[in-house]
């Protein structure tokens, strides 16, 4: 499934652009009625490890709440905070300069679906 669920810097608010992807995920969850769906929250590398851990948890929780309000069984949703531990893009360039585009892609949630 493609689609991005990204967040603004220092925010845990779902962007309206993410709602079509979340709607698709809610449908996918409903079509696979067994197993736990893990929602993993991530951040960029700005801020302390403790703060990023908390922010990533808030991001995962807000997505879980959105899915539950849109038909997903909340009992099947689990959240996990990963902070800045698993970037998908570099937060800084090879020169050491800031990489705003990379940091933006790291502010996300990911889903781990049960095996069928």
The DSSP annotation for 65-87 comes to HHHHHTT--GGGEEEEE-TTSS-
pLDDT at 113: 85
| Alpha carbons 29 and 64: distance in angstroms, whole number | 12
Pull the structure tokens for residue 79.
Answer: 């959240």
Contact 37, 77 (CB under 8 A): yes
| Alpha carbons 23 and 28: distance in angstroms, whole number | 9
Average pLDDT across each block of 10 residues of the chain; the chain has 116 residues. List them in order.
Answer: 80 94 92 90 97 98 96 95 97 96 96 82
| Alpha carbons 105 and 48: distance in angstroms, whole number | 19
- pTM beyond 0.85: the answer is yes
pLDDT at 1: 46
Q: What is the CATH number of domain 16-112?
A: 3.30.1330.60
Among 108, 78, 111, 106, CA closest to 18: 108
């Amino acid at each position: 499934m493609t689609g991005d669920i990204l967040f603004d810097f220092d925010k845990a608010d779902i962007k309206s652009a993410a709602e079509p992807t979340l709607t698709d995920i809610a449908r996918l969850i409903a079509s696979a009625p067994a197993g736990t769906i893990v929602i993993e929250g991530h951040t960029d590398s700005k801020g302390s490890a403790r703060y990023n851990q908390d922010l990533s948890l808030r991001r995962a929780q807000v997505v879980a709440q959105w899915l539950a309000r849109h038909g997903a069984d909340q009992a099947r949703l689990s959240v996990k905070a990963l902070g800045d531990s698993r970037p998908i893009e570099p937060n800084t360039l090879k020169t050491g300069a800031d990489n705003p585009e990379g940091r933006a892609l790291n502010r996300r949630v990911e889903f781990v679906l049960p095996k069928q």
